[in-house]
Amino acid sequence: MTGPSRRVKLACGAFAALMLGGYGLTAQPIGEAMMADADAWPSWGRTGDETHYSPLHEIHTGNISALKLAWHFDLPPNYSPTTPLAAEGKIFFTQGHGHIRALDALTGKLLWEYDSGARDRTTSRFQLSWGNKGVAYWDHKVFVAAADGLLIALDAANGKEIWKTRDFPISEMRTMTGPPRVFAGKVLIGHGGADVSPIQGYVSAYDAETGKLAWRFYTVPNDPSQPATTKAEQVMRPTWKGDWFGKDGVRKAGGGTVWNAMSYDPALNLIYLGVGNGFPYDHLKRSPGGGDNLFLASIVAVNADTGEYVWHYQTCPAEQWDCTSTTDMTLATLKIGGKDRKVLMQAPKNGFFYVIDRTNGQFISARAIAKVTWAKGIDQKTGRPIENPGIRYQGKPGLFELWPGPTGAHSWAPQAYSPQTGLVYVPIIQQGALIGDGTTGGPIQGIGVKLVPEADLPGGRHAFLRAWNPVTQTLAWEKKLPGAWPGGVLATAGGLVFQGRLDRRLMAYDARTGREVWNYPTDAPVQGAPISFRMNGKQYITVITGPGGEGASTRSIGGEAWRTDYRLTRQVLTFAIGGTDGFKPTALPPLAIPADPTFKPDAALAAKGEATFIRCMGCHGNRAVSGGSAPDLRYSPMIVNALAFRQIVKGGALKANGMPPFDDIADTDVEAIRFYLRTRSKLAPAEVAAAIKLVREGK
């Protein structure tokens, strides 16, 4: 354990529950010191290196059979794909679009909660927001990024507001879903929105004590008619060509949002940003003159003090497949070619696993970790992808098979790295898509392409946990998982790897071999990553159950074999050796297809409804197959009642239940959505049976 051996036992206030032998905290200021404390879990990846690794080893492969539930805390039905934090004797976590709770880490007792009110301030933003994935902690403060752009600092002792600031106007089509980070005394936050709008992506850094903006880094260029005043602008601007910006100062192309991944190396004083896709998707619509379009789909290193550009590495030049680089960036020191190299490791959405020198951005190696058809490989000299012929779909008829699809081979679910084994444990999605030139058909959400994001392709519908050797770029072992959406990963010094699954189980594997050593049935699926902490000399494992994120909206292929339901109780589960909580998971609630005797098929009306339903899929699922974040509308009696359905969609009749009004949707489109849902309802029984059959056949 790091830090002085003298402990300070305090009763109440900001240091409540820091007991003797507890989190290892002393009376000195908490910040970087807690990042180094093995007993705590104060950040999304535990530390700035984002390894999702705990040095604790009291729970290990030899005694894990005695791991039992110590306590549980029930949560209301809401998004909960979140990774909690453990600090000051408390568990901190967020749910929904900015609702924080603090629990006693030993008992699970609710200590305080805070609602940011984001749900009441916005409606249409929910079509691009899958809920919060985490909070940040620093020096007795907890930070939450509300979905509508408010960054809020709370007193960790009581949940009282210390400061709050708005990162972007509520009128802009941006949303915060990823967890904030606190690096070098600054709160960093990015946002999403580049799937639906030509926004200019950026990351903001705020002083953790005052909330004052310290710096802001933009990831795509400014108006080219204005001077290029920063080094980053001078690097980016030549890579966007033609009439890309638009007239009268109104941007028509952009993107590059940093909605998830950030890492920090205090020795190098560098912060690493994982940058997302462009808008529109079609490269030549976005940048008619071509060009690589920096910093889309890139890893960018900036100075932690000033936010100034240092280096970049682009994983997908001229990106046009939603191949973002927004997945975890894990920092480690590896022996490569007989030398110790400070590396950054990432398995982005494009299907390759990259090892980059984090001191200068130099490419070291890359290899496919999943099924890939857009590229043959990565040129080991230049670090650029070797694209397959035909993958540039502009001006070509038909649809092209794309692996990975827009969900990516790896999305936001955290990977973990164990310095014990030298392996990276990556949650992998194996799902393809069909994509084509959007000029020959109606583009989905205006992204500029034709897209079938969850095409029913052979070999799809699967997920894996893959243990990857980053030095040799080879697979050590893998576990095939139920469904097509894997949960986040925790690795520990006890030689264990923990991961939640779609079929409502928390699993533990031997980190070296992949042998299953323990599992626990949960009430709801698990998508967030587990964490580990120690109090009073005892190690605990905590995980939050419940769906959310893209996994809640992309369950329509294969996942129906493992049904979930928004009515299932989400929970905070904490385990310890010898735990005594006797909780038993509940059965799935019943579902029934509503009687609809007047229904008559109408393919044109159903197609119109399907196009508009894209706005609903974030909550209610692609093809109306809910992943458990909201009701499965194929089974809703409201779809057979035109008036009731319109009152819900446009009038806000169920706003109190979490369904905001969408009064900008035309009545004719509302009716088309309703007809589409009635059509999908008729098909549901056969589709569920087919999904179960595929699983039984091992397909």
Which of 322, 328, 503, 565 is the catalytic position?
322
Q: Specify which residues 353 forms β-bridges with.
A: 367
* Sheet of 489-492, strands arranged across: 53-54, 489-492, 496-501, 505-510, 516-521
For β-strands 309-314 and 538-544, DSSP reports them as unpaired
Integer Cα distance of 294 and 291 in angstroms: 8
* Nearest-10 crossing angle of helices 603-613, 667-696: 90
Residue 156 near residue 204, CB atoms below 8 Å? no
CB 449 within 8 A of CB 508: no
DSSP assignments along 446-515, one per residue: G-SEEEETT---TT-SEEEEEEEETTTTEEEEEEEESSS-PPPEEEETTTEEEEEETTTEEEEEETTT--
Token representation of residue 119: 């749900």
Which amino acid, residue 235?
Answer: V
Q: At what angle do helices 642-649 and 667-696 cross, to 10 degrees?
A: 100
Region class of 696: left (phi > 0), else alpha (psi between -120 and 50), else beta: alpha
Distance separating alpha carbons of residues 534 and 541, to the nearest angstrom? 9
- The alpha carbon of residue 552 and the mean position of all alpha carbons in its chain are separated, in whole angstroms, by 11
Q: How far is CA 173 from CA 257, 303, 611, in A?
A: 12, 28, 20
Buried b vs exposed e over 217-255: b needs ≥16 C-beta within 10 Å?
A: bbbbbbeeeeeeebebbebbbebbbeebbeeeeebebbb
* Pairing state between β 489-492 and 53-54: parallel
Question: Residue 670 is encoded by which pair of tokens?
Answer: 């509302």
CA–CA separation, 356 vs 354, rounded Å? Answer: 6
Annotation says 49 is catalytic: no
Joined together, the tokens standing for residue 164 give: 């709050």
484 phi and psi, to 5 degrees?
-115, 15
Spatial CA neighbour of 620 closest among 680, 667, 664, 669: 680
What is the C-alpha to C-alpha distance for residues 689 and 687, in angstroms, rounded to an integer? 5
Phi, psi (deg, nearest 5) at residue 41: -135, 80
How crowded is residue 6: how many other Cβ atoms within 10 Å of its Cβ?
7
Contact 147, 128 (CB under 8 A): no
Strands 202-207 and 254-255: unpaired
Type of residue found at 27:
A
**Residues involved in catalysis:** 322
